[in-house]
Amino acid sequence: MNVLSHIKVALRLALTATLLGALSLPSWALIEYSDSQRQTIVEMIDQLEERHYTKFEYDDALSSQHLDSYIDSLDRGKMFFTAADLAEFEQFRTVMDNQLAEGKLDAGFVIFNRFQTRLQARLESVLKTLPEAVAAMDFTIDESYPLDVEDREWAKSDVELDDRWRKQLKNQVLGLKLTDKDADEIAPTLKKRYKNQLKRVQQYNNQDVFQIYANALTGLYDPHTNYFSPRRSKNFNINMSLSLEGIGAVLQMEDDYTKVARLVAKGPADKQGDLHPSDRIVAVGQGEDGELEDVIGWRLDEVVELIRGPKDSIVRLEVIPAKAKSTDQRKVITIVRNKVKLEEQSAQKKVLEIPDGDKIIKVGVIDIPAFYIDFDAMRRGDKQYKSTTRDVKKLLQELQDEGVEGIVVDLRNNGGGSLQEANELTGLFIEYGPTVQIRHSSRRVWRDGKRLKSSYYEGPLVVLVNRLSASASEIFAGAIQDYQRGIIVGDRSFGKGTVQTLNPLTEGQLKITESKFYRISGGSTQHRGVVPDVVFPTLYDTKEIGESALDHALNWDQINPVRHHQYNDLSTVLPHVTTLFHERSEHNPDFIYLEDQVDLAQKTRAIKELPLNEKARIALRDSQEDKALLIENKLRLATGEELLTSLEEDEVDEDTETSDADSDTNTDGDADATVVAAEDEEEEEEAKDVLLTEAGSVLVDALLLKQQRYAVHSRKAAE
């Protein structure tokens, strides 16, 4: 290191020490930023101001928000900093914009060094006293642990912080106790958890700090604009996608937990069936009997590395289910790792038989898990390359040959994919015309769609969506709705209506939102999503899942509409089919069951604190389970099934059925038995899909209404 470099380091350390005030830190403990990071932050701000869709200027107002966002990202639960720390950080509130424009990262690194010191000291203190603290806990005292800390005030003293940590530790101990953890294993389990967290704290480097500081700013522009450090740039999907030799899940961090954002269609987890969006992963185990390793407090990329693995190997996940009847509930899920294959994401067909008095009306269903296209095969000139549109076109013809009287396109859980395919697919259902408008940050608008007139499917059409239908799914559903080509049913879609590009920086990369999708009617798919014509009940909580659940999501807005043809006047049909839907759902046991579950889930989410009194906690858990059991037995009574005495009884029955099927197959070595078991399982799953059946019923209602009106019109014409 030359003399000039020594002087620069000394000046930076002196500045940092001054800003830290009374806090004493050895110089070796301080994390410093690099010259390449100075250049990177300047480049990043230039790109944000010039290329981001919002055109936000990084000024004093945004600097103030950046400070709050950064502190929140470090200490969301307000467990480390005190009010005195926050008062000291106020000196940075309106100067960070000026500092970063000059490549000065002092504010971010000073705050982080304070945080790291507080965190390390706290973890060391907890570890030092943990066994004695656990042994001394009294679970007969009436006190509670807050679940919602968003409005919590900053602690005024270390004594107040000590009490918060005492209650947090007590809640963790009680939670383990109520999951039947052996008493002598509780302290060692928590000790291992805190040791792992301490180890990670001590491994923080300047790339980690820079990434947190940078993303506290990018997140203010919108939730899909992110800075990726060099490590994350090698695979910028590592923070959310496990579709490559993993379980096929999109993950995100929420406080100290790894949360499932969504599942990759037809991926291992999706096909296994037990992992769901909003489940929180608390432990990961390798193989059928490997030890479950606690991952609470781990970094997301480290959890990803544990979950990933070779094809056909087994991973076990211990999760807190999103629909848990109590917050202490745990479930272990076994998943065989694999790759998501293109052919497994292909569109599939089936036929629904909907009763109409003495008649049966056949309705075709086309399930589209993703908007896919084999670009490599297409570029090679392979005339048989796979794509969503090519597959659906073939299935449409097959279903018409089978005599179906209408089509349901099932887009549930379809997270999107190729924009080209969304446009091409829409072209199968309209003669010609635009499908989507795209507005760039330059405010230039261009349109895409079906440019030439050609034949198309003209029969009755219903599109089924849910909260996890996103992006390309929303473009297709929105176009069908705008053309009044079909009826949209289900739940409000995700609301992902933005387009990102990945741009290189001196150090790392910036994923930035540059464009926005708009429907041909002028409204954006962003934030609002596609609102169904007929709304079905859903278990998905819009406060937890969807674009509107994300901080700083871009708002819904609209631009000029495009002239387009409307194939029907659905305003004359929708009131009637909606009335018929409500009449059916009021007496449909499956719909009543679903609505009861939604109500219970909402009430569970409304619980803001947990008792730390063991009897009160058990009473709360039992109360939740009793309500769930009541809902289950209400359905069983309506459908003539045997009533349960406990929810565990139902789980045992399911396990027994699975074991029996496996036993029959393994003992007899009968391939036919395997096929029959698989067919039975598929039929049972279809029978339980009340939403798909109801989508078919809505189509039949619209079809019959149209036929009745045609008959009346024809009779009057004849008279």
Annotated catalytic sites, by residue?
471, 482, 496
Kindly state the tokens that stand for 600. 């219970």
User: Hey, how many other C-beta atoms are within 10 angstroms of the C-beta on 54?
Assistant: 17
Report the C-alpha gap between 414 and 416 in whole angstroms. Answer: 6
Q: Are 325 and 604 in contact (CB under 8 A)?
A: yes
Cβ-proximal residues to 171 (8 Å cutoff; 6+ apart), any chain? 145, 610, 612
The sheet carrying 461-465 orders its strands as 348-356, 359-367, 407-410, 461-465, 487-490, 534-535
Which three-class secondary structure state does DSSP give residue 599? helix
b/e string for 499-509 if b means 16 or more Cβ within 10 A? bbeeeebebbb
Side-chain-side CA neighbours of 208 within 13 Å: the count stands at 15
- The dihedral over CA atoms of 303, 305, 306, 310, expressed in degrees to the nearest 10, equals 150
- DSSP letter string over 289-327? TPPPEE-TT--HHHHHHHH---TT-EEEEEEE-TT-SST
DSSP symbol at 460: -
Q: Exposed, middle or buried, 288 (CB in 10 Å: 0-12/13-18/19+)?
A: exposed
Q: Are 291 and 319 in contact (CB under 8 A)?
A: no
Rounded alpha-carbon distances, angstroms, from residue 197 to 11, 102, 164, 176: 32, 34, 18, 18
Q: What angle do CA 284, 131, 194 make, to 5 degrees?
A: 35
Q: Are 31 and 206 in contact (CB under 8 A)?
A: yes
Which three-class secondary structure state does DSSP give residue 226? strand
Look at residues 440, 521, 446, 515 and name the one whose alpha carbon lies nearest to residue 480.
521
Locate tokens 């790109």: which residue?
47
Q: Are 391 and 242 in contact (CB under 8 A)?
A: no
- The dihedral over CA atoms of 252, 258, 260, 261, expressed in degrees to the nearest 10, equals -20
DSSP symbol at 53: T
Side-chain-side CA neighbours of 328 within 13 Å: the count stands at 24
DSSP symbol at 491: S
Report the C-alpha gap between 77 and 92 in whole angstroms. Answer: 21
Q: Are 518 and 524 in contact (CB under 8 A)?
A: yes
| Phi and psi at residue 216, to the nearest 5° | -65, -25
Give, for 609, the enclosing helix (H) or strand (E): strand 609-611
What does the chain come to in residues? 719
H-state helical runs in 52-157: 60-74, 83-89, 96-101, 106-135
DSSP symbol at 695: H
- Where in 104-194 does DSSP place strands (E)? 144-146
Q: Are 536 and 691 in contact (CB under 8 A)?
A: yes
Rounded alpha-carbon distances, angstroms, from residue 639 to 238, 587, 634: 45, 12, 9
Look at residues 480, 487, 412 and name the one whose alpha carbon lies nearest to residue 450.
480
Give, for 677, the enclosing helix (H) or strand (E): helix 671-688
For the chain, what percentages of helix, strand and coil (3-state, to nearest 5) are there?
50, 15, 35
Side-chain-side CA neighbours of 262 within 13 Å: the count stands at 19
